[in-house]
Amino acid sequence: MNKKIAWCITGGEYFLKDVLEFLNASGHLPVKVFISKAALEIIRFFELETLIPPNSVVERSYSGLEILGLLSGKINKTVIAPCTANTVAKLVCGIADSLCTNLAAQTQKMGITTYILPTDIQDNMSFHTKSGKKIQLRRRKIDKNNIKKLQNMELFRVFYSFEDLKKEILRETA
């Protein structure tokens, strides 16, 4: 049986286009993509619907019913990228009330590591609005602390750049 990577996309715009383009360009990777409700809103807002990988599963419930089929030993890695500060905070507190947090909680109960690419990974970030305006953001201290906590928790691996995450996924699936 081929093992798959369960890749969950949260509602963060930072890294979103890179992640979607990578998933589409890497058709050979054994990945099952899960898209949170918030991610779908952001994807639609930035008109990135054409980048949604085929056969992606979109969150329909708060209980995470969409992941039940994966809990039968069909996956060996979980990725949450991009991972919002909200999702990071929930993971640090052990809250499993959404598709992505349920996916991490349930697969970790099976001993599966969750790779995290936080959107709030840098102290200073900039992005462009849909209209092209450049916005500067500063990372909150609580978000920085939550990332540090997550980094020290069992079965989590935090990545500090999309390139590092991509290299690791490609290395492991080669």
Task: Tell me if the pTM is above 0.85.
Answer: yes
Q: What is the pLDDT of residue 72?
A: 65
Residue 39: per-residue pLDDT? 95
What is the pLDDT, as a whole number, of residue 148?
Answer: 97
Q: Tell me which DSSP letter residue 65 carries.
A: G
Give yes or no for residue 8 having a pLDDT over 60: yes
Q: What letter represents residue 23's amino acid?
A: L
Tell me what pLDDT residue 91 has: 98
Q: With cut-offs at 50, 70 and 90, classify the pLDDT of residue 1.
A: very low
- Residue 162's nearest CA partner among 38, 57, 16 is 16
pLDDT of 166 reads 95
- The dotted CATH code for 4-173 is 3.40.50.1950
In tens, the pLDDT along 95-124 reads 998 889 988 998 898 899 999 999 999 999
Residues with Cβ within 8 Å of residue 49, at least 6 apart in sequence: 43
Question: What does the domain layout of the chain look like in residue ranges?
Answer: 4-173
